[in-house]
Amino acid sequence: MAKVTANYEVVYIIDPAQSEENTAALVAKFKTLAEQNGSNVEVEEWGSRKLAYPINFKTEGYYVLMTFTSPAAFPRELDRILGITDGVMRSLIVCKGE
């Protein structure tokens, strides 16, 4: 039986108070995680943008879009890791289907 995979898209917002090194390290960490657990990983850094509403009294965040293909179990784990990582303000993972 073949492993079932799907295409996913995750957008996460990094706290702008993080240093450039920390921001780059977080982006690299999540990219590496996706590469270890999936394939076709692409990262697009949108940079600092104004938030639609304040999060923890902050009005800006560093946006990153990452797309990848993986088995269904990995996005749950990625969501958990994003949720407990210092410096990540918000994240959203969406399954894009085929």
Q: Tens digits of per-residue pLDDT, 11-54?
A: 999 999 999 999 999 999 999 999 999 999 999 999 999 999 99
Q: pTM of this prediction?
A: 0.92
pLDDT band at 5 (very low <50, low <70, confident <90, very high): confident
Distance CA 52, CA 33 (A): 28
- By CB neighbour count within 10 A (0-12 exposed, 13-18 middle, 19+ buried), where does 95 fall? exposed
The dihedral sign for the CA sequence 72, 66, 26, 57: negative
Q: Tens digits of per-residue pLDDT, 58-69?
A: 999 999 999 999
